């Protein structure tokens, strides 16, 4: 009741009908004395009422918004209003999952008997390049070893992979490895993917569609599984949150019928081609998850998507990495972040194992300590 908008109390001279019983019960504590001046619309010397569009201009980050009505306010749950917000794009979007099988599902605690509802499939996406890098191969093998999935899917438009790392993956994974053919999309809902972000945006859309078809665990090719993600398979969908308060797309765990997947894909109808992370991470967080947080199980740190470049490539040591379930290695940023990497660029005679000393957990050198 004491939150403020532009210096004026939200309960100031408001019609707070649903809170009258609560306020009455607090009369003996003196709280009502303190709030009396705000709640009494007939009090002399009160401040000037807020602007008529105050409720629309200052929407809070939860499921309750305030609507100015007849010089007062009423409280309404989001998307149940009879005024302008009734036809808003967000309300129309949320209505698309009204009859979902997960309607009323509690993503805070998951299934009642802690049973897993997300299949133990791990998905990787490869476009264009037939050679699998050393880091990518390590992440694939880590997923095989630490997650112990029933299947590992390579979703790709590549007919044949090449190189020594591919041979190691093929021989190690055996029958667990499956292939699914995908093509690089060129548009979404009539909006063309354009440079310089075509491949990135196309892969963002493709991972949503993959999870909607199969369900399971989607990993960026440089996302390293430290320990099993099974504790999150009892939720409808689990996401990580970045330092910028956006959705982290690098590790996603979802049932194929998860409500958020459908809403996320539908949100691409408002596609911003020249913004790198708007549709993938910013828009779904601001317009969907903040309004309906119950759609997902949100993890702030344990999935390692919050941007760990300093931990990985600047700090001399980082001993807490084992506490994570997964870590996005952000390998594209290593080139300019890691002083050791930059130093060794001019020393061609240095062996590969010395380059990787700083992040020795990648090579499995600490596997016995795990």
Per-residue pLDDT 10s for the chain (370 aa) are 334 334 444 444 344 444 444 444 444 444 444 444 444 444 444 444 544 444 433 333 333 333 333 333 333 344 443 333 334 667 777 788 888 999 999 999 999 999 999 999 999 999 988 999 999 999 999 999 999 999 999 999 999 999 999 999 999 999 999 999 999 999 999 999 998 999 999 999 999 999 999 999 999 999 999 999 999 999 999 999 988 789 999 999 999 999 999 999 999 999 999 999 999 999 999 999 999 999 999 998 899 999 898 888 888 789 899 999 999 999 988 877 776 666 666 554 444 444 444 445 444 544 444 4
Strands 187-188 and 191-192, sheet pairing: antiparallel
Tell me what pLDDT residue 232 has.
97
Q: Which of 161, 140, 162 is nearest to 149 (CA)?
A: 140
Q: Which residues contact 197 (CB under 8 A, 6 or more apart)?
A: 273, 274, 276
Largest interatomic CA distance in the chain? 84
Helix%, strand%, coil% for the chain, nearest 5: 40, 20, 45
Structure tokens given for 111:
């299934």
Which single residue is written with the structure tokens 């009859």?
99
Tell me what pLDDT residue 346 has.
52
Give the C-alpha separation, 201 to 272, whole Å.
10
The DSSP-derived string for 289-347 is ITT-GGGSEEESSTT--S--HHHHHTSS--GGGGG-SEEE--GGGHHHH-HHHHHHTT-
Give the C-alpha separation, 96 to 30, whole Å.
46
**Phi-psi region for residue 304, left (φ > 0), alpha (ψ -120 to 50) or beta?**
left
Q: Which of 320, 292, 297, 142 is nearest to 219 (CA)?
A: 142
Q: What is the pTM of this model?
A: 0.71
Give the C-alpha separation, 240 to 325, whole Å.
11
CB-count burial class (<10 Å; 0-12, 13-18, 19+) for 347: exposed
Tell me what pLDDT residue 71 has.
33
CB neighbourhood size of 196 (10 A): 8
From residue 74, give the alpha-carbon distance in Å to each of 8, 47, 66, 69, 352.
16, 19, 6, 7, 65
**H helix or E strand, kind and range, residue 261:** helix 259-266
Structure tokens given for 118:
């997300």
């Amino acid at each position: 009741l004491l939150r403020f908008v532009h210096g004026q109390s939200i309960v100031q001279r408001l019609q707070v009908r649903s809170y009258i019983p609560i306020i009455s019960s607090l009369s003996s504590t003196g709280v009502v004395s303190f709030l009396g001046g705000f709640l009494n619309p007939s009090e002399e010397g009160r401040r000037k009422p807020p602007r008529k569009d105050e409720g629309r201009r200052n929407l809070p980050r939860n499921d309750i918004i305030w609507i100015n009505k007849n010089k007062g306010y009423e409280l309404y749950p989001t998307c149940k209003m009879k005024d302008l917000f009734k036809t808003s794009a967000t309300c129309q979007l949320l209505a698309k999952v009204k009859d979902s099988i997960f309607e009323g599902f509690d993503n805070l605690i998951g299934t009642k008997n802690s049973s897993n509802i997300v299949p133990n499939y791990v998905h990787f996406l490869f476009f264009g390049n037939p050679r699998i890098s050393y880091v990518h191969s390590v992440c694939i093998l880590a997923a095989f070893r630490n997650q112990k999935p029933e299947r590992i899917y390579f979703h790709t438009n590549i007919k044949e992979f090449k190189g020594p790392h591919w041979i190691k993956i093929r021989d190690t994974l055996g029958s667990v490895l499956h292939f699914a053919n995908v093509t690089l999309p060129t548009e979404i809902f009539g909006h063309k993917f354009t440079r310089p972000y075509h491949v990135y945006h196309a892969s963002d859309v493709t991972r949503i569609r993959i999870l909607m078809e199969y369900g399971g665990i989607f990993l960026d090719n440089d996302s390293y599984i430290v320990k099993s993600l099974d504790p999150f398979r009892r939720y409808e969908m689990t996401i990580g949150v970045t330092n910028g308060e956006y959705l982290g797309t690098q590790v996603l765990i979802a049932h194929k019928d998860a409500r958020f997947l459908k809403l996320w894909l539908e949100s691409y109808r408002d596609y911003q081609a020249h913004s790198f992370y708007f549709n993938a991470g910013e828009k779904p967080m601001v317009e969907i998850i903040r309004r309906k947080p119950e759609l997902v199980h949100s993890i702030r740190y344990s999935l390692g998507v919050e941007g760990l470049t300093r931990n990985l490539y600047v700090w001399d040591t980082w001993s807490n990495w084992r506490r994570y379930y997964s870590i996005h290695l952000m390998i594209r940023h290593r080139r300019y972040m890691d002083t050791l990497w930059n130093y060794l660029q001019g020393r061609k005679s240095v062996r590969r194992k010395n380059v990787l000393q700083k992040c020795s957990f990648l090579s499995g050198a600490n596997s016995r300590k795990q």
